Amino acid sequence: MKTSMTHLFVTVLLVAAHTAFAETNMLQDLCVADLKGAKVNGYACKDPSQITPEDFYYIGLAAPADTSNTAMGSAITAGNVEKIPGLNMMGTSMSRIDYAPGGLNPPHLHPRASEAIFVLEGRLFVGFLTTTGKLISKHINKGDVFVFPRALLHFQQNPNNAPASVIAAFDSQNPGTQSVGPSLFGANPPIPDDLLAKAFGVEPQVIQKVKGKFPAKK
C-alpha cells in the first residue's frame, strides 16, 4: 500500500510538472497582445479578426535616437511587446541603444531576460558582474557580439570621440530594467538615509547629496 501511494504521488508530480511545462508553450498560432485589455502577467490575446500586419511591424529601431538631452549620453529605443504586439507569448524582443561620445548605459539588470548586443557602429567598453563580484569586461567593435546573463548587473560605455550604437536582443517579450542609481536613490517611498549610508560606508549627508541627483519615482 505504501509503495502504491508513493508511485501515485510521483505520478501526480510528474503529470503536474508536464502540464506546467506544456502550458508555457503556445496553444495556437499566435496571440497578438490586446494592449487595451486586462493585464495579468502579460497581455490577453487580441481578437484574431482584428489582427493586422502592423501588429508585427515596427520601424522605431531604424534611426539613431537623440542622445543630446540625456543625462548619461545614451538613449534606448525599446522594441518590446508594448511596441510590437505580435511579440506577445513569443519570449523575445529587441532594443536599439545609441551612445554619444563618452556616453554610458549605467549599471543595470534585466530581471526577466538575458541580453545579447550586436555593435552597429563604434567601439564600446562593456561588462557584467557575477554574484561573486568578478568583472567580465571587454572592448568590442563594429560587428562584434557580447552577451549579458539574465539578472546580472551590466553596463556599456562609449569611451571614444565618435557616436556608437547597438542592437540588443532579449529572450523575453518584456525583459524589464532596473538601474542601480535610480532604484537605490530615487525609490518611492525613499530608502532611509542611514540605511544607505551604512551600506555604502559613507555619511548620511553624502547620501542626501546623491539622492538630489535622482528624483523620486512616481
Please write the tens of the pLDDT for every residue from 114-162.
999 999 999 999 999 999 999 999 999 999 999 999 999 999 999 999 9
* CA 44, 50, 56, 61 torsion-angle sign: negative
The answer to whether the CB of 96 falls within 8 A of the CB of 139 is: no
Domain contains 47: no
Note whether residue 187 is domain-resident: yes
18 is in an annotated binding site: no
Task: Give residue-wise pLDDT tens across range 153-191.
Answer: 999 999 999 999 999 999 999 999 999 999 999 999 999
The answer to whether the annotation marks 108 as part of a ligand binding site is yes
Q: Please write the tens of the pLDDT for every residue from 47-91.
A: 999 999 999 999 999 999 999 989 999 999 999 999 999 999 999
Q: Which residues contact 203 (CB under 8 A, 6 or more apart)?
A: 197
Query: Is 139 annotated as ligand-binding?
Result: no
Q: Is 154 one of the annotated binding-site residues? A: yes
The parent domain of residue 186 ranges over 182-212
In-domain check, residue 99: no
C-alpha cell at 146: 557580447
DSSP 54: G
Where do we find the cell 545609441? 98
By the 8 A CB rule, do 207 and 133 touch?
no
Indicate the pTM of the whole model.
0.84
The three grid cell numbers given for residue 92, joined into one nine-digit string: 523575445
Alpha-carbon span 27 to 114, nearest angstrom: 25
- In a domain? residue 200: yes
Q: Is residue 207 part of a domain?
A: yes
Number of domains making up the chain: 1
